[in-house]
Amino acid sequence: MRSEGVHWICLCTMKISNGISHVSGKDTSNDSYPARFGGIHFVNQPWYIHALYTVIRPFLKDKTRKRIFMHGNNLNSLHLLIHPEILPSELGG
């Protein structure tokens, strides 16, 4: 099983980000997710996803950092957090 990679990445410059926070009147850096999530699990991620996460990790809240998991090729660590019965066969389900 190989990673297909990231097909697109959306980057928001600091100028745009600051403009949004000034217009809305609140800090948009950590509290404005379009959805709520219990966890984000990366499996078979390419090296640059881990590098990008290393760069943005210090700017995330502790609660958010605890919900992001980088499994790489280690499906055992994924199975400890998500029961294999609900995973697709590609992920050992």
The radius of gyration computed from the CA coordinates of the chain, to the nearest angstrom, equals 16
Mean predicted lDDT score pLDDT of the chain = 73
Q: What's the pLDDT score for residue 58?
A: 93
Q: Quick one: which of 43, 46, 20, 47 has its CA closest to 31?
A: 20
pLDDT in tens, 43-74: 999 999 999 999 999 999 999 899 999 998 88
CATH architecture of 38-93: 3-Layer(aba) Sandwich (3.40)
Q: Alpha-carbon distance 67 to 23, whole Å?
A: 29
**What is the pLDDT confidence band of residue 38, given thresholds at 50, 70 and 90?**
confident
For residues 64 and 71, give the distance between their C-alpha atoms in angstroms, rounded to a whole number.
Answer: 17
Residue 51: predicted pLDDT = 93
Separation CA 29–CA 2 (nearest Å): 33
Give the length of the chain: 93
Judged against a pLDDT cut of 50, whether residue 79 lies above it is answered with yes
Give buried/exposed letters for 39-57 (b at 16+ CB in 10 A, else e).
eebbbbbeeebeeebeeee
Percent of the chain topping pLDDT 90: 32
